[in-house]
């Protein structure tokens, strides 16, 4: 597998926000989002045993497999190897590809509002939906995806003034549409990885 990085931090977004986690960032993505804040192209080739061993050096209840787009490489055998290390395995995906059957928690963050119908999610079930809110596009509820939680996450534009306005608008949207919860990127607020 092509691995960009493996590190230990706090989950900064969504349902597990604030939870200690081991992040396994796989390299590569099938989409090119204009606001992507992740440099995931660099990589090292690692086998599944080495990935599980590297993740196992830290204590955390969850392993978050992310990218880029993790569904391009993630296998059921890697999920099993992480389970054997005691992790609950969470995946953050754009939803355009199927996932292994044994993932414990699925976060779908669709990007078709920004990229068009070719980026529409194919997954029909997830634990949480995390929609990036830019203050321009009306959030889609993705009613065709069965989810337990819906999160609206303000887009980080790199401009602190614009970011503050987008965050306020996202909060107001959640207040007016209580099926949504606000998700802030607390790792950026805390200035941690």
2-189: CATH, from 3.30.420.40, 3.20.20.70, 3.30.470.10, 3.40.309.10:
3.20.20.70
* Domain residue extents for the chain: 2-189
Indicate the pTM of the whole model: 0.93
> How far apart are the C-alpha atoms of 190 and 193, rounded to whole Å?
9
Average pLDDT of every residue of the chain: 93
Q: Any idea which residues carry the catalytic annotation?
A: 23, 29, 33, 36-38, 92, 187
21-30, 38-47, 179-188: range with lowest mean pLDDT: 38-47
Task: Read off the pLDDT of residues 1-42 as tens digits, 9 standing for 90 and up.
Answer: 999 999 999 999 999 999 999 999 999 988 887 777 667 677
């Amino acid at each position: 597998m092509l691995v960009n990085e493996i590190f230990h931090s706090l989950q900064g977004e969504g349902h597990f926000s604030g939870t200690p986690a081991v992040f396994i960032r796989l390299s590569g993505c099938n989409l090119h989002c204009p606001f992507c804040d992740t440099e995931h192209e660099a990589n090292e080739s690692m086998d599944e045993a080495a990935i599980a061993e590297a993740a196992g050096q830290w204590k955390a209840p969850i392993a978050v497999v992310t990218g880029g787009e993790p569904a391009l490489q993630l296998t059921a055998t890697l999920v099993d190897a992480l389970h054997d290390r005691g992790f609950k395995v969470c995946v953050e995906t754009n939803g355009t590809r199927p996932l292994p059957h044994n993932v414990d928690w699925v976060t779908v963050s669709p990007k078709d509002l920004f990229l068009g119908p070719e980026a529409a999610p194919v997954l029909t079930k997830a634990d949480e939906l995390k929609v990036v809110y830019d203050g321009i596009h009306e959030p889609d509820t993705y009613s065709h995806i069965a989810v337990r939680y819906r999160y609206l996450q303000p887009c980080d534009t790199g401009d602190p003034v614009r970011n503050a306005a987008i965050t306020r608008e996202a909060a107001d949207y959640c207040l007016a549409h209580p099926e949504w919860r606000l998700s802030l990127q607390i790792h950026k607020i805390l200035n941690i990885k």
